[in-house]
Structure 1
């Protein structure tokens, strides 16, 4: 049977088939303490397209980087008969870490990936050394997110049928404050992935508001948020700061939803300082 992901313009890393039968794709780059990279949602997302400008610096600094394609994204399996809720993502991440014999790690998550990082540490606190979060989900009610301009536009565009380059551009320009940083190669990567994604991926994506449980997280948290974010309300940073006992945030103006792209050098430097501390 033809594999719909085989021709994607993305690097090929490793595959792990979990006990559930689900196969996940990930890049395994470098050696040392483990950092697991969890990308955000949206049509065409993948670990590589989210973090290509970041994890190579972490490799040079002496870290092992597991850059995951979440189920439903990238080169990973995309079942059309599951609910893509938080428990589904957290459970599959735990199964992957178990299979790779990773007992402890740092989770680094953007948007949906940030919500998964929060959900994972709440369920498995003994497995996590530190958290790095970029505009994480999971700290608002679902209705709040769906009133954000970026998500409204994304839902409208996705609902119009197969997504081409210009439709993807309309969504992705909202990710960045300065859309001139948007690379054509990134658009092409995401368009190629988007046509392989099932409709139930976004319709069943349910993430609870975990604000009231943030006080349970003892792991150190380093967070980033752009004050011009059109997808996740920047006020979420203060919810984490007010509730998690060991958290600090860098807030950046003239910055949208992708701090790691728009302020790549600052992001990489602060993360590596945090990990080394």
Structure 2
């Protein structure tokens, strides 16, 4: 006899574009397990450490400082990573910028990459922006071209709002937070979110990235984006990383920056892959609501209209990571704006 409730559930999952359970991709077995500090995981450039004290805790911010090539132009580019990423994925961008005379600074935010992962800290974009400014002060950099991707776009926006004098130009590459998800998504507490993260495995991360970022397709060059997240899920610090992920997701959900877009006072460029469908909490709402979230072909235009004088470079058919999917178009837009 057919199990009708199960049949209807599976049909609904397929209709919503949610991947069903299947055998794990063999390539995931080759990814190493990683601890919270990414010990043994090689970054493309030398990694330095900035000691910080935050909320009574001694923390360390990891960062890379890539010197300019022979024809230094006196400018610094600050590259801010997204939530599911770390500073390491900026390698190609950093090399191209350095070869064109830019100094490139790439921090791992607290809670990410090789930086400290406190599980009892109040995370906020103001905190991350202030710590990033402390890094620039430490390096004696007075002003930078600030580039943020995904969650890094929210950090970059907050940085530009708090420190306009230190922000020469602002570039937002498929930033999240272009819509206020908490208006449609029910609140999920940190404990519940931690429990949900603990249930995930490497295949879940790959399925998410493939579906949301890359339109259901996967290429070998995307594997580098997967390595850290999958490694943590296989590693000894999975529980701690699940907690940190839940806390930083809570920060994203409860601390929108889009209402302050009109307050930005610096030249701003948005590079938007219009096929992107990223939206935190999409799995917590009915499919008809989920279908309204993460519509970047409209969100990019709305953000550009809200930011005074902003320029929009739209990339049709490109998803959440233009610097991976459409590198040449992305780099041209970036260089045309900051050079």
- TM class, shorter-chain normalised? 0.7 to 0.9
Q: 2:75 aligns with which of 22, 28, 33?
A: 33
Q: Is the 8 A contact 2:107 2:132 kept in 1?
A: no
1:256 aligns with 2:289: no
- Confirm or deny: 8 A CA contact 1:38 1:114 kept in the other structure: yes
Bigger helix fraction: 2
Alpha carbons 1:80, 1:199 under 8 Å: kept: no
SS in 2 for 1:117: helix
The structure-2 alpha-carbon separation of the partners of 1:193 and 1:29, relative to structure 1 and needing over 3 Å to count, comes to: farther
- 2:166 aligns to what? 127
Deviations 1:187-224 (A, max 9, x none): 23432245445333233332433333222212111111
- 1:66 is paired with a residue whose SS is strand
Larger relative contact order, structure 1 or 2 (CA cutoff 8 Å, min sep 6)? 1
Q: State the Cα distance separating 1:61 from its structure 2 match.
A: 0.8
Which residue in 1 is equivalent to 2:32? Answer: none
Residues of 1 paired with 2:37 and 2:158: CA distance?
Answer: 30
| Farther-moved stretch of structure 1 (228-237 vs 99-108) | 228-237
2:263 maps to which residue?
A: 216
Tell me if the contact between 1:222 and 1:248 (Cα under 8 Å) persists in the aligned partners: yes
Cα distance in structure 1, aligned partners of 2:195 and 2:312: 32
**For the aligned residues, what is the CA RMSD?**
2.7
Partner residue in 1 for 2:214: 176
CA contact (8 A) 1:110 1:133 kept: yes
Aligned partner of 2:242 in structure 1 is: 199
Task: State whether structure 2 residue 89 is matched by structure 1 residue 68.
Answer: no
Alignment partners' CA distance in 1, 2:331 and 2:66? 16
Q: Find the counterpart in structure 2 of residue 86 from structure 1.
A: 125
Q: 2:148 aligns with which of 105, 109, 116?
A: 109
**Once the 2 structures are TM-superposed, how far is the Cα of residue 146 of structure 1 from its aligned partner?**
5.4
CA positional deviation for 1:35: 0.7
Question: Paired residue for 1:14?
Answer: 48
Distance 1:146 1:38 in 2: 26
Tell me the residue number matched to 2:274.
Answer: 227
Aligned-residue offset at 1:85: 2.2
The unaligned stretches of length 5 or more in structure 1 are 148-154
1:157 CA drift (Å): 11
Cα distance 1:73–1:120, how it changes in 2: closer, same or farther (>3 A)? same
Alpha-carbon distance, 1:144 to partner: 6.0
Deviations 1:52-81 (CA, angstroms, capped at 9, x unpaired): 232211111111111111111111111111
TM (norm. structure 1) is: 0.85
User: In 2, are the aligned partners of 1:53 and 1:264 still within 8 Å (CA)?
Assistant: no
- The answer on whether the counterparts of 2:194 and 2:243 sit within 8 Å (CA) in structure 1 is no
Moved more, 213-222 or 122-131: 213-222
SS at match of 1:113: helix
Quick one: structure 1 residues 160 and 200, their matched pair in 2 at CA, closer, same or farther if it must change by over 3 Å?
Answer: closer
Instruction: Name the residue aligned to 1:24.
Output: 61
Whether the 8 Å contact between 1:145 and 1:231 is mirrored in structure 2 is no
**In 1, distance between residues paired with 2:225 and 2:201?**
13
Q: Corresponding residue for 1:161?
A: 198
State the number of aligned residues: 265
Secondary structure of the residue that 2:178 maps to in structure 1? coil
2:31 equivalent in structure 1: none
Greater Cα radius of gyration, structure 1 or 2? 2
> Of the candidates 248, 264, 269, which is equivalent to residue 332 of structure 2?
269
Residues 143 and 33 (structure 1), Cα distance of their counterparts in 2 relative to 1, 3 Å cut? same
Alignment correspondent of 2:303: 240
Per mean C-alpha deviation after superposition, the further-off stretch among 5-14 and 156-165 is 156-165
